[in-house]
Chain A
Amino acid sequence: MATGGTRGTRLLGGRIPYIDGPLKVTGQAEYTDDIRRPGMLVGRLLRSPWAHARILSVDTSAARALPGVAAVLTGEKYPTPFGVLPITHDETAIAIGKTRYVGDIVAAVAAVDERTAERALELIRVDVEPLPEYTDPRMGVEKVAEPIHARGLLGTNIQKEVVQHFGDVDAAFAQATHRVRVHGRFAGVTHAFTEPLVTIAEATADGRLTVYSATQVPHYLHRALSEVLGIPMHRIRVIKPEVGGGFGGKSDPLPHEIVCAALSIETGRPVKMLLDREDVFYTNHGRHPTDNEVRIATDAEGRILAYDIDALIDGGAWSSFGTVTTYYNGILAMGPYRIPNFRYHGRRVYTNKPPSGAMRAHGGTNLRYSIEVGLDEIAEATKLDPFDLRTRNALPPNSTTINDFRITSTSFLKCLAAARERSGWDSKFRKLPYGRGVGLGCGFYISGSNSPIHFKPVMPQSTVHLKVDMDGGIAVHSMQADIGQGSNTLLAAIVAEVLGVDLERVRVPRVDSDVSPIDIGSYSSRVTFMMGNAARRAAEDLRAQLLRAASHRTGHPVEQLEVAYERIQVRHRPDVGVTFMEALHAAMERAGALTATGAYSSPPMGGSFKGARAGTAPAYSFGAYVAEVAVDPETGLYRAEKMWAAFDCGRPLNRLAVEGQVEGSIHMALGQVMGESMNYRGARLLNPSLLEYKIPAPAQMPEIEVLLVGDDDPEGPFGAKEAGEGPLIAALPAMGNAIYDAVGVRCYELPITPDRIVRGIEDRRKEGRAWKGA
């Protein structure tokens, strides 16, 4: 049962169990791989074993001749490039002309079964001429012999370069009392969702194409399918069954989805393309391997005067969200502190490796890690407590950053206060025995990108349709994608809240582009804010219809009526009124089944300089985390003992879900800190498996105290802001700074493997710099 709303609401603000919970705990929830269509074929991909090679020929004749093979596809058939950002379409469904990484798709097969399909792949002969391999972004910043893409900047492999300067950074540094420079190095990490990538496509005789896919952005997939396959969008139907986790990794339209659809068109039969776990690692689109340099200048009192940031970002083979990534790795430095002078130089460089893309807290983690470690160093240099330093610099509510971010609500100071008090910081910081430590990390993140990626035609970012018929069940249609974060539950709860009905009346059918109105999907932490507002408006529209009908029935004007549980009644006279069903049926007498629409468009914001829209959002989340760690100084092994996570998501609408997001974010953050990394030898990924790619085990999780201290946001639905991505960010630097407090070793590189700690302790000892007496 859902429990206890807050601040005048019945449901929202309480703990609302996920409405799809019963289906998920029984195995009845239907994921893409659980779907079977009549006569379905198996699709398989031939992947390139070469990192960079010119394709001279692909001979598919033997494969085609194999009994049981229905189609073999190579790149030329569908040459239209695609990509998630309209300005960087650099992928084709299947490689044309050359292969760009080990794992690139060279050909595809549809056959009657898995074994036949794999046998067919073995029969395809590919002739190539090897090309120089660029496995490190540093190799591609100058003119190269063979650019990975023709669209690279001036013959280099640079995909995107961003230069920004606000204020006067050099002057600020010249007058600063304290300066630090952090050189952060970050291995690539990947989403490692448990459900592998999978798509089913079914081309039918009516000229239509139906695609079921494990995607978090059905709309972008819809567009890409239309563009590449040359089929108008209205003849394509995209269905999103349950999705087993996304974290950003299912937000790009992915080549296997398009190939699957193409194979179905070729064969006239349904085709399922289920990727092996190894293939999921090659598809990647995970967090970019990054080298950054963050310079911070402060005055004697620790007030930040300037940031000077440089980032070199390893993009892998495609652009993906890379242009956004390149901006984010700089401009997401603009909170949660006031930054009067700011300079950023960022470059994202193509390499012959699996493509990097958007991963939970996209662009926000690696930069933030370096900044927060740098601030810890400043605090030490200025002899300020890390909390005091941050309090002093906090960005005030209703302010504008130097790059024109509009900051409305922020409860960052409350986050700091809560984390400090609950963690017992003042009795622990630099006071725990050697080997134990606490660390503070802070963060902030966008609550929905103000810029929809596809803005042509101009339309709202979210639309919600409601439909109620005589049965009294309310269907909520939307193209937001529940990928486990609980957005269906939130959508239903908002509608139930506004209409006063039992949550059980509200159904959220799966996303189906034939019936779901446009929403640009689940990324950039936008769903609660944007879809939530759209849902609220749709429900208010429906409520108005019901109120009018109730007014007719009761003879009381609408202004005197109020919504109560399953009822519409006269204010202060609860005995006079009609039930929800009576109101509904009354309304239906005139209109038939009721429908209502609500939409959300973010307000105009941002400056007018190049790239000004990047990072603008209708609201921002804030966080302050304290980690307590225990480090074994001799082995460098460590564990997170406890994490106090103070987070400002505005008003948490579903506490159960928000806690779940915070706890899950900490899991993912700890993974990046403690051992997740995509390890390469040259261009080859060494660990494309869940055994060797080390997402944290149950025993690695700390005790977590979630402190939700946000005040209502003025524009968020019922005061809410995002809680899906921001909660990850502060956890990383909190760990790094706690390790420093424990053993005096600064870790500038993630993951923090134990050997790095041992080396750091050794160096300290050699230099005769004792720490906490050890």
Chain B
Amino acid sequence: MPSRAKGAAANGAEATSSSSLKITVNGLPIDRPCPPERILLDLLREDLDLTGTKRGCDLGTCGCCTVLVDGRPTLSCLTLARLVDRRSITTIEGVTPVHGLSTLQRAFVEHGATQCGFCTPGFLVTATALLEERPHPTRSEIIDAISGNLCRCTGYTKIIEAIEAAAREGR
């Protein structure tokens, strides 16, 4: 490591390569070493075995990797794990109740909003945050909210219907 970096670290700005990471994932505290270059998606899938979060494009376009960071939908493929230190992460596994399904998940099932299912966790996380913020979104608000998630199977039609139905039913 160059000496300048050490100096910087000594002055308060962390510049080490293996600081520890303290985060909460789906309600459980995680404390582990994490190099700066570790991407949140990789941390979740590879290190924590939370494989519900999907890797679709790895470049921030498709939305398959969406997770909540402090309740906010976030592209985990473009997030450095170290930069969510002390934050709370919720993945699709965390959106799922211990028993059964959430209203939104049930609506996705009943309305046929899943086909191949690969984009589904991302859509569900996005839609969960939407309904948290706006329990009764209009159709166009739903379309706006999911406009960062790509689905190749459904044409989005049944996804939108499912979110509408879940909103009607309330949570």
A–B interface present (Cβ within 8 A): yes
What residues of chain A lie closer than 8 Å to B157, measured between beta carbons?
659, 663, 701, 704
Interface string of A1-35 (1 = CB under 8 A from B): 10000000000000101101111111111110110
Tell which of B49, B52, B153 touches A245, judged by Cβ atoms closer than 8 Å: B153
Once the chains are docked, how many angstroms separate the CA of A274 from the CA of B146?
A: 27
Query: Which of the residues A22, A244, A657, A697 comes within 8 Å of B101, measured between beta carbons?
Result: A22
For chain B, the count of residues having a C-beta within 8 Å of the partner chain is 49
CB within 8 Å for A27 and B51 given contacts A483-B116, A691-B59, A691-B61? yes
The contact string, 1 if C-beta is below 8 Å from chain A, for chain B 102-114, is: 0001001111101
Considering only CB atoms, which chain B residue lies closest to A654 in the complex?
A: B112
Q: Given the known inter-chain contacts A194-B56, A195-B56, A689-B61, please indicate yes or no for A698 contacting B160, CB distance below 8 A.
A: yes
Taking a contact as CB atoms under 8 Å apart, the answer to whether A276 and B124 are in contact is no
CA distance A464 to B18 in the complex (A): 54
| Structural contact, A193 and B152, CB atoms closer than 8 A | yes
Chain A residues with CB below 8 A from B62, complex form: 194, 690
A15–B158 Cα gap in the complex (Å)? 13
- Stretch of A379-387, A664-672, A713-721 on the interface side: A664-672
Residue ID in chain B nearest A16 by CB atoms: B112
Q: Which residues of A in the span 664-709 have a Cβ within 8 Å of any Cβ on B? A: 664-668, 689-691, 695, 697-699, 701, 704
Q: Is there a chain A Cβ closer than 8 Å to B64's Cβ?
A: yes
Is B91's CB within 8 Å of the partner chain A? yes
Min C-beta distance of A119 to chain B, whole Å: 15
- Asked if A194 and B92 make an inter-chain contact with CB atoms under 8 angstroms apart, the answer reads no
- Interfacial chain B residues near A33, Cβ < 8 Å: 51, 55
Known A17-B112, A25-B101, A660-B112; judge A668-B146 contact (CB<8 A): no
Which residues of chain B from 118 to 168 have a CB within 8 Å of any chain A CB? 118-121, 124, 143-144, 146-147, 149-158, 160
Whole-angstrom distance between the Cβ of A196 and the nearest chain B Cβ? 7
Does B82 have its Cβ within 8 Å of any Cβ on chain A?
no
Which of B50, B101, B115 has the largest number of chain A CB atoms within 10 A?
Answer: B115
Which residue of the partner chain B has the closest CB to A660?
Answer: B112
**B interface secondary structure, majority:** loop
Q: Which residue of A lies closest to B156 (CB)?
A: A698
The complex places the Cα of A195 from the Cα of B115 at a distance, in Å, of: 12
Q: How far is the CA of A18 from the CA of B144 in the complex (A)?
A: 27
The reply to whether A664 and B110 contact each other, CB–CB distance below 8 Å, is no
Cβ-closest chain A residue relative to B94:
A27
B150 touches A194 (CB 8 A): yes
* A698 touching B58 in the complex, CB below 8 Å, given contacts A24-B117, A31-B118, A663-B157: no
Are A698 and B108 within 8 A (Cβ)? no
Q: Does A247 contact B (CB under 8 A)?
A: yes
Does A243 belong to the interface (CB within 8 Å)? yes
Q: How far is the CB of A347 from chain B (nearest CB, A)?
A: 31
B57 interface contact, C-beta 8 A: yes
- The answer, among A1, A27, A663, for a CB contact under 8 Å with B92, is A27
Q: How far is the CA of A1 from the CA of B107 in the complex (A)?
A: 11
Query: A484 near B: Cβ within 8 Å?
Result: yes
Q: Which residues of B contact A660 (CB under 8 A)?
A: 112, 115, 153-154, 158
Known: A664-B154, A695-B150. A194 touches B118 (CB 8 A): yes
Residues in A whose Cβ lies below 8 Å from that of B116: 193-195, 242-246, 483-484
Whether B117 contacts A244 by the Cβ 8 Å rule is yes
Contacts of B110 in A (CB 8 A): 1, 17
- CB pair B91–A27 under 8 Å, yes or no, is yes
Considering only residues 54-102 of chain B, those with a C-beta below 8 Å from chain A are 54-59, 61-62, 64, 91-93, 96, 101
Q: Is there contact, CB below 8 Å, between A25 and B120?
A: yes
Residue of B nearest to A2 (CB): B110
Min distance, Cβ B159 to any Cβ of chain A, angstroms = 8
A415 CB–B CB distance under 8 Å = no
- Assuming the contacts A242-B117, A663-B154, A668-B152, asked whether A27 and B96 have C-beta atoms less than 8 A apart, the reply is yes
Bound CA–CA A32/B153 (angstroms): 19
Whether A195 pairs with B118 at a CB distance below 8 angstroms is yes
Query: Which residues of chain B are within 8 angstroms of A698 by Cβ–Cβ distance?
Result: 143, 146-147, 149, 156, 160
Q: Are A21 and B53 neighbours in the complex by a CB distance under 8 Å?
A: no
**Cβ B93 vs Cβ A27 within 8 A:** yes
Q: Is A556 an interface residue (CB 8 A)?
A: no
Q: How far is the CA of A26 from the CA of B152 in the complex (A)?
A: 19
Given contacts A28-B52, A277-B58, A660-B115, 15 further A-B contacts (CB under 8 A): A17-B110, A22-B101, A27-B91, A33-B55, A192-B152, A194-B54, A195-B56, A243-B116, A483-B116, A486-B115, A659-B157, A663-B155, A690-B62, A691-B59, A699-B143
**Residues of A in contact with B (beta carbons under 8 Å apart):** 1, 15, 17-18, 20-31, 33-34, 36, 191-196, 242-247, 274, 276-277, 483-486, 656-657, 659-660, 663-668, 689-691, 695, 697-699, 701, 704
Please report B residues at the A interface, Cβ cutoff 8 Å.
49-59, 61-62, 64, 91-93, 96, 101, 105, 108-112, 114-121, 124, 143-144, 146-147, 149-158, 160
